[in-house]
Amino acid sequence: MAGHSNSVRLYRTLVLLGVPLRWWVRLQVSGRSELPPANRAVLVVANHDSMLDPLAIADTLMRAGRPVRFLAMERLWHSRVLAVVLDGVRQIPIRRGQQDIEAMQNAIDALAEGDAVCIFPEGGLSGGRHVRARSGVARLIEGCPDAEVLLAAVAGGTDLARFPRRPKVTVELFRPRQPVRNSTAEAHSEIAGRLLGEIRERVPPVAAGRHSDRLRATP
């Protein structure tokens, strides 16, 4: 319990340090009322077009009293300093493209403890392309069926490359159109694709780049 309290304090400190960034990117959030109470597990499923996306989601949830644990690429832990910070706020390293069973179990355990966990079903930055959803999100739902599922559509982070122009980052939280339950009638890949599809209906993929004209990708 003491370790968890220390993690929350560190998380809050990082959010405070991020206030200037929040101001710079003009972060706007809608749908925070969709978050369940702090003692209820929630799985946040989000698109990933920019490195700002996890920061925007973390700020959004922390300001609602919900520190979030991301399934983050394992190579981030290669930096000793960053590894200390990531471990301090209880992030979950995952080896992408390798069916990392240990990482998935760690995420399921976190949900079972009532934590907020975030996963990017695209598995990495979209690069402005429609990417097929990976099935890990459905495996988490199957592993912790009591967790509530919340979708997050994040937009505007790709404009950070246009400095000194200020981006306008938005985070929209919303519920899936249909209750998400694993069954033999719907495969893991279908569940993952359906959830990502609902997000992409609101936020089509956008490529980052200083000279990008922000043309939206076509399926």
CATH of the domain at 19: 3.40.1130.10
Residue 11 vs residue 64, higher pLDDT: 64
| 92 phi-psi bin (left φ>0, alpha ψ -120 to 50, beta other) | beta
Would 214 be classed as within a structural domain? no
- At residue 217, does pLDDT exceed 50? no
Does residue 218 sit within a domain? no
Three-class secondary structure of residue 58 per DSSP: helix
Percent of the chain predicted with pLDDT > 70: 89
Q: For residues 114 and 161, which has the higher predicted lDDT (pLDDT)?
A: 114
Overall average pLDDT of the 22-41 stretch? 93
pLDDT of 209 = 67
Is 215 inside any structural domain? Answer: no
Average pLDDT of span 13-24: 83
**By the 8 A CB rule, do 100 and 23 touch?**
no
Residue 10 resides in a domain: yes
Give the DSSP letter of residue 60.
Answer: H
Predicted confidence band of residue 1 (pLDDT cuts 50, 70, 90): low
Question: Is the Cβ–Cβ distance between 149 and 43 less than 8 Å?
Answer: yes
Domain that holds residue 70: 2-202
Q: Is residue 89 part of a domain?
A: yes
Whether 210 is covered by a domain: the verdict is no
Position 160 scores a pLDDT of 81
pLDDT at position 216 = 46
Q: With 70 as the cut, is the pLDDT of residue 31 above it?
A: yes
Residue 185 belongs to some domain of the structure = yes
Percent of the chain with pLDDT over 90: 63
Query: Where is average pLDDT lowest: 37-46, 54-63, 95-104, 152-161?
Result: 95-104
Residue 14 DSSP class? H
pLDDT in tens, 57-94: 999 999 999 999 999 999 999 999 999 989 999 999 99
Cα–Cα dist 122/111, whole Å:
20
Highest mean pLDDT among 53-57, 164-168, 212-216: 53-57
Assigned domain for 209 exists? no
Question: Which one has a higher pLDDT value, 161 or 150?
Answer: 150
**pLDDT at residue 210 above 60?**
no
Q: Which residue bears the tokens 């989000």? A: 46
> In 98-166, which residue ranges form alpha helices assigned H by DSSP?
101-112, 136-143
Identify the pLDDT of residue 185. Answer: 55
The two three-digit tokens of residue 170, written as one number: 């938005």
What is the average pLDDT across 7-11? 75
Q: How many domains does the chain have?
A: 1
**What pLDDT sits at residue 219?**
44
Confidence (pLDDT) at 90: 93
Q: What distance in Å separates the CA atoms of residue 179 and residue 176, rounded to the nearest whole number?
A: 7
Instruction: Look at residue 214 in the predicted model and tell me its pLDDT.
Output: 45
Q: Report cis status (omega within 30 of 0) of the bond before 54.
A: no
